[in-house]
């Protein structure tokens, strides 16, 4: 322990203060009971090296499996709670359009079945009806579409800021520029070491480190089969800006191969469009911030065919990291070998769920007697067979 400073004792420590970790820090602090909660972030809060730094992410109830639909309903309610607590608008509901060409990457019928099972209403639309409602679209007659009215935009810049502000107001200590170098478990006695030579003792650790997750888990003997890709989103000029107003134009997902998604104009120069899993494999430490002209060309080709005349030149492209499990399902679970360590990994489609995941993680972290998350989180178990493989299914789930 020479040279290591005692950083104090905390009931729970969150490692990583992106979208999910900030939510967990707030929910832990809000649980009250005089508990001491610490959040540690290696960079400055709001940095853009991870996955949650942008002004818009898609939120939607339309999902391919019932459990996601049900979680998405709860997650939107959680976001509304955060909005009320901080007095800011985080969700902007625009409606959501899922568009499936023949031979889609994901079955649009699965979306319909999952929403039906969860009691969520939606409309089937054909290509003519889509073009009637939103004349920007030019679809082939065999394109099938679903419109679900609760789709929209979740704002990470505001959402993360709100969670961090509320966490501090509820008594949590959030330290930025404080990288965790290791998590130690000595017979159930947990501590976290930081690069600046401090050691913090704790009852539980929530690892919300996304692309950096394995740097923390590998020394604990549990590496996950993760693939990190450098993705990009592009804002385009719109010759008729009113056509992409969030009050008029819905978020959309093209379930084709490749798959694309887009959002109306929101706190940016125009509509935002991206290819889902269009980026190259990289690593959190080895990534660059260079944009990929081939990926942009694929987006532009798609837009030229599907929204001819409605989209102008690209104005800005921003890169961001996807961290993918082989089945693209989340990991929300305790480490089997170290039950005080809880892993939260969103597999590149979790921003919309962050406000709810914070609550679920806080419940796990504050109740060491609870062996595992409840049945609703069973698909996200860390010991599921898909995590014993090393191949990633790159099907769409923005």
Ligand X SMILES: Cc1cc2nc3c(=O)[nH]c(=O)nc-3n(C[C@H](O)[C@H](O)[C@H](O)COP(=O)(O)OP(=O)(O)OC[C@H]3O[C@@H](n4cnc5c(N)ncnc54)[C@H](O)[C@@H]3O)c2cc1C
Helix residue ranges per DSSP H, the chain:
19-30, 66-86, 108-117, 127-133, 156-169, 213-217, 293-306, 354-366
Would you count residue 50 as binding ligand X (CB under 6 A)? yes
Would you count residue 134 as binding ligand X (CB under 6 A)? no
Backbone angles phi, psi at 64, to 5 degrees: -85, -10
**Which one of the spans 4-12, 169-177, 236-244, 320-328 is the region binding ligand X (CB under 6 A)?**
320-328
Q: What's the maximum distance between 2 C-alpha atoms anywhere in the chain? A: 72
- The 141-180 contact track toward ligand X, x by CB under 6 A, reads --------------------------------------xx
DSSP state of 287: -
Picking from 292, 324, 318, the residue whose alpha carbon sits closest to that of residue 228 is 324
Cα separation, 396 vs 257, in Å, equals 9
Query: Which C-beta is closer to ligand X: that of 16 or that of 203?
Result: 16
- The 206-235 contact track toward ligand X, x by CB under 6 A, reads --xxx-x---x--------------x-x--
Ramachandran bin of 63, using left for φ above 0, alpha for ψ from -120 to 50, beta for the remaining angles: beta
Would you count residue 20 as binding ligand X (CB under 6 A)? yes
Query: Which C-beta is closer to ligand X: that of 39 or that of 203?
Result: 39
Would you count residue 95 as binding ligand X (CB under 6 A)? no
Would you count residue 15 as binding ligand X (CB under 6 A)? yes
**Which one of the spans 242-250, 303-311, 314-322, 360-368 is the region binding ligand X (CB under 6 A)?**
314-322
Would you count residue 299 as binding ligand X (CB under 6 A)? no
Residue-level length of the chain: 398
- Smallest distance, Å, CB 40 to ligand X? 5
**Which one of the spans 44-52, 122-130, 137-145, 218-226 is the region binding ligand X (CB under 6 A)?**
44-52
Would you count residue 266 as binding ligand X (CB under 6 A)? no
Backbone angles phi, psi at 116, to 5 degrees: -60, -45
- Smallest distance, Å, CB 259 to ligand X? 12
Backbone angles phi, psi at 176, to 5 degrees: -95, 170
Q: 193 forms bridges with which residues in the sheet?
A: 182, 199
Could you count the other beta carbons within 10 Å of the beta carbon of residue 24? 33
Would you count residue 10 as binding ligand X (CB under 6 A)? no
Check: CB of residue 341 under 8 Å from CB of residue 333: no
Query: Which C-beta is closer to ligand X: that of 131 or that of 165?
Result: 165
Would you count residue 256 as binding ligand X (CB under 6 A)? no
Query: Which C-beta is closer to ligand X: that of 136 or that of 317?
Result: 317
Query: Which C-beta is closer to ligand X: that of 181 or that of 339?
Result: 181
Q: How far is CA 220 from CA 19, 41, 119, 205, 345, in A?
A: 24, 20, 42, 13, 17
Picking from 109, 55, 52, 59, the residue whose alpha carbon sits closest to that of residue 80 is 59
- The 328-367 contact track toward ligand X, x by CB under 6 A, reads ------------------x-xxxxx---------------
Q: What burial class does residue 179 get, using C-beta atoms within 10 Å of its C-beta: 0-12 exposed, 13-18 middle, 19+ buried? A: middle
Query: Which C-beta is closer to ligand X: that of 83 or that of 129?
Result: 83
Would you count residue 25 as binding ligand X (CB under 6 A)? no
Picking from 153, 160, 133, the residue whose alpha carbon sits closest to that of residue 145 is 133
Query: Which C-beta is closer to ligand X: that of 138 or that of 165?
Result: 165
Residues that bind ligand X (CB under 6 A): 15-21, 40-43, 50-52, 57-58, 179-180, 208-210, 212, 216, 231, 233, 274, 320-322, 346, 348-352, 398
């Amino acid at each position: 322990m020479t040279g290591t400073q005692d950083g104090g004792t905390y009931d729970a420590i969150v490692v990583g203060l992106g979208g999910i970790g900030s939510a967990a820090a707030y929910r832990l602090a809000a649980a009250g009971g005089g508990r001491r909660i610490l959040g540690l972030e290696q960079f400055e809060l709001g940095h853009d090296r991870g996955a949650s730094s942008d002004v818009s992410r898609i939120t939607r109830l339309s999902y391919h499996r019932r459990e996601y639909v049900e979680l998405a309903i709860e997650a939107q309610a959680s976001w509304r709670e955060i909005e009320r607590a901080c007095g800011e608008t985080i969700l902007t509901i625009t409606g959501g359009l899922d568009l499936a060409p023949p031979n889609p990457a994901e079955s649009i019928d699965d979306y319909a079945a999952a929403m039906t099972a969860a009691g969520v209403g939606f409309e089937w639309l054909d290509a003519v009806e889509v073009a009637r409602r939103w004349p920007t679209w030019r679809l082939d007659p065999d394109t099938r579409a679903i419109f679900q009215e609760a789709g929209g935009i979740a704002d990470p810049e505001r959402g993360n800021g709100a969670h961090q502000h509320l966490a501090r107001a509820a008594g949590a200590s959030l330290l930025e520029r404080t990288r965790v170098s290791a998590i130690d478990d000595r017979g159930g006695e947990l501590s976290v070491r930081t690069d600046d030579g401090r050691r913090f003792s704790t009852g539980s650790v929530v690892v919300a480190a996304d692309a950096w997750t394995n740097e923390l888990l590998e020394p604990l003997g549990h590496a996950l089969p993760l693939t990190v890709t450098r993705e990009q989103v592009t804002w385009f000029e719109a010759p008729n800006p009113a056509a992409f107003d969030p009050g008029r134009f819905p978020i959309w997902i093209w379930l084709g191969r490749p798959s694309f998604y887009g959002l109306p104009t929101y706190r940016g120069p125009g509509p935002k469009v991206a290819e889902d899993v269009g980026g190259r494999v990289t690593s959190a430490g080895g990534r660059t911030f260079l944009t990929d002209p081939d990926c942009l060309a694929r987006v532009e080709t798609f837009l030229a065919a599907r929204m001819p005349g409605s989209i102008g030149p690209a104005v800005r492209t921003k890169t961001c990291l996807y961290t993918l499990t082989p089945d693209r399902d989340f990991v929300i679970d305790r480490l089997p070998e170290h039950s005080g360590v809880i892993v939260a990994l969103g597999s590149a489609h979790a921003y919309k769920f962050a406000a709810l995941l914070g609550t679920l993680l806080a419940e796990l972290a504050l109740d060491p007697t609870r062996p595992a998350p409840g049945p609703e989180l069973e698909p996200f178990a860390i010991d599921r067979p898909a995590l014993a493989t090393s191949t990633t299914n790159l099907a769409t789930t923005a």
